[in-house]
């Protein structure tokens, strides 16, 4: 969540930056914060007076005063009044804190000062393109779902019978291709210094709240009604909470993790979009990259994260471009994001395959993830970064199209052939 101290000290700047994302009125937050702090001061003063009264009564009793001494009785009466006031103030303060937190949880991250201004995806900024020499020469390319079904490696019709639409069953070489991609991605990121973890696929409400999925994206997630558990929409969620409510040593930073998980999303806001193929499924697999870092290094770590995700596309020789998202297109928890978009020749478009985001201390505040530096008082919040490295289904779709041959076969990228044990589908 956003930093209340920063908001108090510079409300105009925070409001102005948030306005670039949409309309967010911070006045109720500032008012609730003012009321809560006033109550906190009053409660602290009353608590101090209560302690002082108790101390004076104890001192007088030790010096021989009787319990029914008028002065002692007066102090006790005052003490009872103070306690009564405290009993009224404490629930009021608790209620104000709850109201304040409930609103704060709905406010997105403040965009970085270096994030381009813009209202929507049309104003995103292209940073670079890579791999033009690998653009397919064949102009008659079938969509990946057609070539996949023709090759007998994808089946959507039977999957809808098993579950519903927006699911797929991978068959034979299709299943093997997915496993090969997962292993390739993990191997490369482990070699780049990431520690692999395999987290739970079911996560609790606190985990979804810490990463920023709740409360905003509740309708996008699948919930187990009888438990406080949800199917994870991305490994970002469990990995964020891997260090929730912990104080790390600065010597432990940075921490780099990679995690393969299935991901589950309702895609509630995508009615009519990408109804065919592997682009927008309710269940898909992904390798996630995640970092817990010192605030001083988070911008540099963001660039490295982006390069680590790019490295997979480059190894597969898939043409792509890098897009810097404008303020109006940022994800809820992000302050700065680069999207990787891979070329899909059947549609003649670049499509998102990874988002690499710097969340700074936004998720760390929600998850209470801090660190302490030796010789310094207090703690600081870590900065968190995440990125897909990559979405497996979208990578498969790009391979099926970019490596499609005129005779209807699909060439396997050189780097994948040792994993798959074949060079063609």
Read off the tokens for 332: 């809820």
Q: Considering 166, 244, 265, 351, which one is annotated as catalytic?
A: 265
* Structure tokens that stand for 9 in this block: 């000290």
d(CA 107, CA 96): 17
The region, left, alpha or beta by phi > 0 then psi within -120 to 50, assigned to residue 259 is beta
Please identify which of the residues 123, 149, 352, 373 carries the catalytic annotation: 352
- What is the number of other CB atoms lying within 10 angstroms of the CB of residue 254? 16
- 159, 211, 354, 355: the catalytic one is 355
Query: Is 15 within 8 Å of 110 (Cβ atoms)?
Result: no
- Do the beta carbons of residue 208 and residue 237 sit within 8 Å? yes
Q: Would you call 265 a catalytic residue per the annotation? A: yes
Residue from 21, 394, 397, 401 carrying the catalytic annotation:
394
Q: Report the C-alpha gap between 23 and 405 in whole angstroms.
A: 49
Q: For CA atoms 31, 328, 312, 231, give the dihedral sign.
A: positive
- Placement of tokens 């700065």 in the chain: 336
Determine the distance from the C-alpha atom of residue 147 to the mean position of all C-alpha atoms in its chain, rounded to a whole number. Answer: 34
In angstroms, the CA 389 to CA 184 distance is: 11
Please tell me what DSSP assigns to residue 214. T
User: Which residue is catalytic, options 8, 49, 280, 321?
Assistant: 280
Is 161 annotated in the active site?
A: no
Separation of alpha carbons 317 and 366, rounded Å: 39
Is residue 266 among the annotated active site residues?
Answer: no
d(CA 302, CA 60): 64
Residue 215, preceding bond cis, omega within 30 degrees?
yes
* 394 catalytic residue (yes or no): yes
* C-beta separation of 358 from 111 below 8 A: no
Tokens of 42: 């009053």
Catalytic: 165? no
Query: Longest C-alpha distance within the chain, in Å?
Result: 106
Classify strands 370-372 and 247-249 as parallel, antiparallel or unpaired.
parallel
Residues catalogued as catalytic: 265, 280, 352, 355, 394
């Amino acid at each position: 969540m956003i930093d209340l101290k920063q908001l108090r000290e510079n409300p105009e700047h925070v409001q102005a930056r948030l306005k670039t994302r949409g309309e967010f009125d911070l006045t109720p937050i500032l008012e609730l914060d003012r009321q809560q702090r006033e109550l906190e001061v009053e409660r602290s003063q009353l608590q101090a007076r209560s302690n002082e009264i108790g101390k004076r009564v104890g001192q007088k009793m030790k010096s021989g005063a009787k319990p029914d001494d008028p002065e002692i009785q007066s102090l006790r009466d005052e003490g009872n009044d103070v306690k009564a006031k405290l009993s009224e103030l404490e629930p009021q303060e608790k209620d104000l804190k709850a109201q304040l937190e409930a609103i704060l949880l709905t406010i997105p991250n403040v965009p970085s000062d270096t994030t381009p201004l813009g209202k929507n995806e049309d104003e995103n900024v292209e940073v670079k393109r890579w791999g033009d020499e690998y653009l397919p020469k064949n102009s008659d390319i079938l969509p990946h779902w057609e070539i996949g079904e023709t090759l007998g490696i994808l089946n959507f019709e039977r999957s809808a019978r098993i579950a519903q639409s927006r699911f797929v069953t991978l068959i034979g070489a299709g299943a093997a291709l997915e496993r090969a991609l997962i292993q390739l991605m993990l191997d490369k990121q482990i070699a780049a210094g990431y520690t692999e973890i395999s987290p739970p696929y079911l996560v609790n409400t606190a985990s979804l709240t810490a990463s920023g999925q709740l409360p905003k994206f509740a309708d996008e997630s699948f919930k187990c009604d009888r438990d406080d558990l949800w199917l994870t929409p991305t490994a970002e969620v469990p990995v964020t909470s891997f260090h929730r409510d912990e104080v790390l040593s600065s010597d432990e930073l940075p921490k780099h993790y990679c995690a393969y998980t299935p991901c589950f999303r309702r895609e509630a806001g995508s009615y009519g979009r990408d109804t065919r193929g592997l682009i927008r499924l309710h269940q898909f697999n992904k390798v996630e990259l995640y970092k817990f870092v010192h605030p001083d290094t988070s911008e540099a770590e963001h660039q490295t994260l982006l390069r680590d995700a790019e490295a997979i596309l480059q190894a597969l020789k898939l043409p792509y471009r890098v897009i810097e998202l404008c303020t109006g297109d940022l994800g809820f928890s992000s302050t700065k994001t680069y999207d990787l978009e891979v070329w899909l020749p059947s549609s003649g478009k670049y499509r998102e395959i990874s988002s690499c985001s710097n969340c700074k201390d936004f998720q760390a505040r929600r998850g209470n993830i801090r660190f302490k530096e030796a010789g310094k008082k207090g703690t600081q919040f870590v900065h968190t970064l995440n990125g897909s490295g990559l979405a497996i289904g979208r990578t498969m779709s790009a391979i099926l199209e970019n490596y499609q041959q005129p005779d209807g076969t699909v060439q396997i990228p050189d780097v994948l052939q040792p994993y798959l044990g074949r060079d063609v589908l």
